[in-house]
Amino acid sequence: MKLIFERSTPGLSCEILPPCDVEAYELKAEQQRGQELRLPEVTEGEISRHYTELESQTFGVNSGYYPLGSCTMKYNPKINEEIAGLPGFADIHPLQPAHTVQGCLEALRLAEKLLCEITGMDYMTFQPAAGAHGEFTGLVLIKKYHESRGDKKRTKIIVPDTAHGTNPASATMAGFTTVSISSGQDGLVDLEALKAAVGEDTAGLMLTNPNTLGLFEKNIVEIAEIVHQAGGLLYYDGANLNPVMGIVRPGDTGFDIVHLNLHKTFSTPHGGGGPGSGPVGCKAFLAKFLPVPRVEEKDGEFYFSGDYENTIGSMKAFYGNFLVVLKALAYILTLGREGIPEAAKSAVLNANYMMKKLEDLYQVAYPGRCMHEFVLTAEPLKKKTGVSALDIAKGLLDNGMHPPTVYFPLIVHEALMVEPTDTESKQSIDEAVKVYRELYEKACTDPEALHQAPVKTAVRRLDEVTAARNPILRYNFD
């Protein structure tokens, strides 16, 4: 494909603006830009064709089966997009006076109320722009909480070895040291290891439940007790809320803080990497530390308030990825009381169904009942045939499917992490199963074919080593 710069012809342009209707003004010479500005010079038709071509080489949620583990690639309803595009939301300036944005504020309050009910939390901020941003926010809350009690020795955050990479990275940003604890034989938090890890320096534990192996941490009450007794707080990484929403509430199981990924659990699209939204909920005793501004209500009127002495400050400008919150709100209103747990159940049913259809061929890393996802290990296959998890993933590409997440969680060798989601049909799962099984056969009979895969895609395997060693990170005009 041509780059947009390669479609450029000097002198071409789109005519967008009328001539300026006031006298021109010129900056002082020393304030003016000297460098050339090499943006594309193209007509609208060329732009349209360019992006149509780019879109044709992009795999969207509706392009095919997309069971990317831990990412919850469920269907993104169209009504949500239309609602977010209403001028009454999209054209509102963030610094309008409160009485002109009552609808925005009410929407935020309503989303807070519904998501607090779903998570079992008391308050929520929508400022965090993504899950990792939510983690960071939650950890700063933990830091502030301990400090407010004069407890300055709590410098450590405990994370299981199955945790998302963002957990330890967020802990570092919040000035904590990460203590990683090994999972038990069953893939769950090892209570003895946890007991050994907690102490007077424990600030908190970050836990994903169900965890990244797709297993529900059934000892969660005991885990919470251990952490709380040591004086730490319990943080819920909401990446995997989808299979338990409406079934189990993190707040009821001892968590003090949660973040949600609205772009996973609540159907808002991923945008090729973002924008997401990572609201953070907390129990009442932590509310005074939440970021500002916060939406308040008095006599039926909503307003923003920044007047909280103990706040951690702000996590970004304004109030978060507002339009994304609206999409999630529309989704919750659509599904409602019955629909939320039904979606959760559908996710769990789909995952268990697919796992059982594959377990005689592929080895399940931690057999048993899974939640929204399951993790296969291609290690035995690799030993037998030389075909790796990556090869299987690339083989799936030739079959028009998005591969599962590979090589994560780190504790499973040759991991294939499969999350079908609630919006996948039995029919499409059956078709996927057929392909997964065929690829297994292929690995046994013709491994070389899978080392070569993909062959049908627009480009084939890339030289990633050279990409990192001699980075070319921008177009070279010369």
Of residues 253-272, those binding other proteins (CB under 8 A): 253, 263, 267, 269-272
Instruction: Answer for the pair 393, 406: CB distance below 8 angstroms, yes or no.
Output: yes
* 319 touches other proteins (CB under 8 A): yes
User: Of 183-212, which residues contact other proteins (CB under 8 A)?
Assistant: none
User: Of 409-448, which residues contact other proteins (CB under 8 A)?
Assistant: 422-426, 428
Instruction: Answer for the pair 259, 131: CB distance below 8 angstroms, yes or no.
Output: yes
Single out the residue of 32, 53, 50 nearest to residue 40, CA to CA: 50
Residue type at 452 in one-letter notation: Q
User: Of 17-36, which residues contact other proteins (CB under 8 A)?
Assistant: 17, 20-25, 27-28, 30-35
Distances in Å between the alpha carbon of 136 and those of 6, 23, 71, 368?
A: 41, 49, 19, 33
| Crossing angle between the packed helical segments 131-148 and 166-173, to the nearest 10 degrees | 40
Residue 363 parent element (H or E) = strand 363-364
User: Of 60-79, which residues contact other proteins (CB under 8 A)?
Assistant: 60-63, 66, 68, 71, 73-77, 79
Interface stretch with other proteins, choices 52-60, 193-201, 228-236, 376-384 (CB under 8 A): 52-60
Interface stretch with other proteins, choices 128-136, 199-207, 412-420, 436-444 (CB under 8 A): 128-136
With respect to other proteins, which residue has the nearer C-beta, 129 or 233?
129
Which residue has tokens 């594309």? 40
Instruction: Answer for the pair 158, 202: CB distance below 8 angstroms, yes or no.
Output: yes
Residue type at 421 in one-letter notation: T
User: Of 376-405, which residues contact other proteins (CB under 8 A)?
Assistant: 393-394, 397, 402-403, 405
* 173 touches other proteins (CB under 8 A): yes
* 235 touches other proteins (CB under 8 A): no
With respect to other proteins, which residue has the nearer C-beta, 380 or 386?
386
Q: Using CB under 8 A, pick the residue from 182, 192, 305, 356 that binds other proteins.
A: 356
Q: Using CB under 8 A, pick the residue from 67, 69, 112, 130 that binds other proteins.
A: 130
Q: How far apart are CA 126 and CA 92, in angstroms?
A: 17
Instruction: Answer for the pair 254, 221: CB distance below 8 angstroms, yes or no.
Output: yes
| Binding residues for other proteins, total number by CB under 8 A | 196
Q: Using CB under 8 A, pick the residue from 149, 316, 384, 434 that binds other proteins.
A: 316
- Helix (H/G/I), strand (E/B), else coil: 42: coil
Single out the residue of 282, 283, 306 nearest to residue 294, CA to CA: 306
* 284 touches other proteins (CB under 8 A): no
* 223 touches other proteins (CB under 8 A): no
